[in-house]
Amino acid sequence: MCHEIACATCGKPTWEGCGEHIEYALKHVPLNERCACPREKVKAAGSERSTLDRILGRSK
């Protein structure tokens, strides 16, 4: 589940996690006060293995 963290670059609130709960994690932070730094890697939906797959060593 996603949770709030501070951006390492600008120090503003941003998120970490699966990406499915971003608004929940940042619901108390106004949009104009959130980190706007570019994400280093944009993940396409379904492009990565699930956590369970990684733990069990399964490939996609």
Q: Which residues contact 3 (CB under 8 A, 6 or more apart)?
A: 15, 16, 17, 25
In the structure, what pLDDT confidence band is assigned to residue 45 with cuts at 50, 70 and 90?
Answer: very low
Name the more confident of 23 and 47. 23
Q: What is the pTM of this model?
A: 0.62
pLDDT over 50 (residue 7): yes
Angle at 4 between CA 17 and CA 37, to 5 degrees: 85
In the structure, what pLDDT confidence band is assigned to residue 41 with cuts at 50, 70 and 90?
Answer: very low
